[in-house]
Amino acid sequence: MSEPTERLEARTLLAMLATERADPRYAGIEGLSTLDLARTMNEADASVSAAVAAVLPDVAAAIDAVADRLAKGGRLRYVGAGTAGRMAVMDAAECPPTFSTDPELIKALIAGGKAAEGGAVEGTEDDEAAGEAAIAADGIGPADAVVGLAASGRTPFVVAAVREARRRGALTVGLSCNTGTVLSDAAEHRIEVEVGPEVVAGSTRLKSGTAQKFVLNMISTISMVRLGKVYRNYMVDMKVANQKLAARAVRMIREITGAGPEEAEAALAASGDRVKTAVVMLELGVSAADAEARLVLAEGRLSGALAA
């Protein structure tokens, strides 16, 4: 029985993608020593930074648009499948402890749901209806931003989700590792990081995954900087959840204010383990309640509270 035309065309188009091609430079990797193979992979990975650098204007434009939505009360959603989806889950999960964001502010929608976060759930990335349903179930609307991730730029679940989000008026961004992709066409902002063929042909958890991680780092971190959750280069909104973070908080307070260790520890305790509050208390000589009030007036920005 001959293969359906639609499926054959899809396979042909996939084979043409740079991320799917076999690079002749890596044709003999199984014969390399472990050290030489590690060097080969390291050299390949070194090219990722330059590939990301080439599209930084696109990245910056997308981040400005995302940060604007968040500043106005919107939410950020990443949408991905497989490796891209799991990286998105990780990036979103790190925002609450790092920046004290509400867990609902930044979340990842992954093909296959929770079960796919720790392993493959076969077939889910091809489910367009599920992509649309994920956006609908989350109530995505004009206030929100949606970033779709797919190394190939053609993953049906992701493309359908981005199209549905855009139809609902949300800001949309397509992040892929090929050019002229369906995902790029579906999104308002396109970020196409050309990393080329992988050391292991088609294994897009390698250079493609690294490139996507680079861009996700920028999207979440720079958005938080724009929202005032970083002061100088300190994560002053982090949650003090363990001894290591308590020590980091005291160190930040000391470096920002010049206070001694005992004074910094006392201010942190009096502030309810809120670094920004402790800094305002020490710098302005005010109570925790007054410091909190100043931060509210400054919309949570430490620089604004200290200048008031």
Residues labelled as active-site residues: 94, 125
The C-alpha atoms of residue 216 and residue 222 are separated, in whole angstroms, by 10
Question: What are the C-alpha distances in Å from 279 to residues 16, 195, 265, 275, 285?
Answer: 56, 43, 11, 6, 10
How would you class 27 by CB atoms within 10 Å of its CB: exposed for 0-12, middle for 13-18, buried for 19 or more?
exposed
- Cα–Cα distance for residue pair 31/13, rounded to 1 Å: 31
Largest CA distance in the chain: 81
**3-state secondary structure string across 176-218:** ECCCCCHHHHHCCEEEECCCCCCCCCCCCCCHHHHHHHHHHHH
- Which residue shows structure tokens 């797919």? 150
First to last CA, the chain: 76
Q: Looking at residue 116, what DSSP letter applies? A: G
Answer whether 177's CB lies under 8 Å from 194's CB: yes
Residue 277 CB contacts under 8 Å (≥ 6 apart), including other chains: 271, 288, 291, 292, 295
CA 292 to chain centroid: 30
